[in-house]
Amino acid sequence: MVQKSRRPSAQSPRSGGPGQQRSTTIRVVAGVLALMMVGSLAFVVVGTAGSGGEDQATPPTLPIPDDCPAEDKSDAPRLAFTSRPTWCLSPGASYTAVFNTTEGEIRVALDKARTPETVNNFVVLTRYGYYDATMLFRFDPSIDIIQGGAPNTNDWSDRGPGYTIPDEGGEFRATASGQLTGPFTYEAGDLVMARSAGPDSSGAQFFFATGPRTSLLDAQGTYIVFGRADEAGTAVLQAMMGLYEVDETSQYGGGPSRDVIVRSVTIEAG
């Protein structure tokens, strides 16, 4: 960050000084200081003048963090981390996540304005290949969600990336009973972070809202919505939910009639 320097304020000598000799000394010292200031200003002008003789300030170049993944995913795969990601998004850029699944493509516009830290986390993990070749492992038609993002175990017991991220997007409160409530509501097409009951507990797992029953989560509102699928992607999600079958042997009570795999997730920046 460029810091502006303050110029010292000029102060007039007080009238009614103790004598002529002191007044003369003050004038001499002031003259020397004025010459020093002029010389200093001249140096600054010469240092910033362009080759054509025009004064043009060169905008500062912001350093790129050295721990951000390559945008082309050449740093992948990486599944374990010691801390949450540094800031790797570009100013003014918008981001779209493209899920290439065995059931079709889902394009999701990420909400950088409302949930910047969550979007940054998802983009970084995606560029490390965290979500590639993973299963959408939980289908729950009682609340119309499809959950994924567990590369180590492909179930909700996954240990995650090794960190959690802070809640954001509005006000989170603890009720008198100790339950956490948040500001979010849910509808088909939303991309949402999964979490535990505690605050600041999201990490990497996510779920898609596929229908109206996801609004049953509105009363809690703590699951962070950080993106929204387009119309075609929402249709793919709803078709996925149509694969659901009851299975009493499943820890989720059922699942899709065939495995649904996220072949890859890529990030488009614009």
Distances in Å between the alpha carbon of 210 and those of 31, 144, 145, 239, 253? 77, 5, 6, 9, 18
Q: Exposed, middle or buried, 226 (CB in 10 Å: 0-12/13-18/19+)? A: buried
- Residue 95 three-state SS: strand
Q: Are 265 and 132 in contact (CB under 8 A)?
A: yes
Angle, CA 82 vertex, CA 81 and CA 83 arms, to 5°:
95
Q: Are 210 and 144 in contact (CB under 8 A)?
A: yes
For residue 140, give the H/E element and its range. Answer: strand 138-140
Which whole number is the average pLDDT over 199-213?
98
pLDDT digits (tens, 9 = 90+) for 165-184: 999 999 999 999 989 999 99
Task: Read off the amino acid at residue 68.
Answer: C
pLDDT digits (tens, 9 = 90+) for 2-45: 333 333 333 333 334 444 444 444 443 344 333 333 333 222 22
Please give the class, per CATH, of domain 95-269: mainly beta
pLDDT digits (tens, 9 = 90+) for 208-238: 999 999 999 999 999 999 999 999 999 999 9
Which part of the chain is CATH 2.40.100.10? 95-269
Task: Read off the amino acid at residue 11.
Answer: Q
Helix and strand counts by DSSP (H, E) for the chain: 3, 13
Distance (Å, rounded) from C-alpha 40 to C-alpha 31? 14
pLDDT of residue 66: 72
Distances in Å between the alpha carbon of 164 and those of 24, 34, 52, 68, 161? 69, 57, 53, 17, 8
Burial 88-102 (b: 16+ CB within 10 A, else e): bbeeeeebebebebe
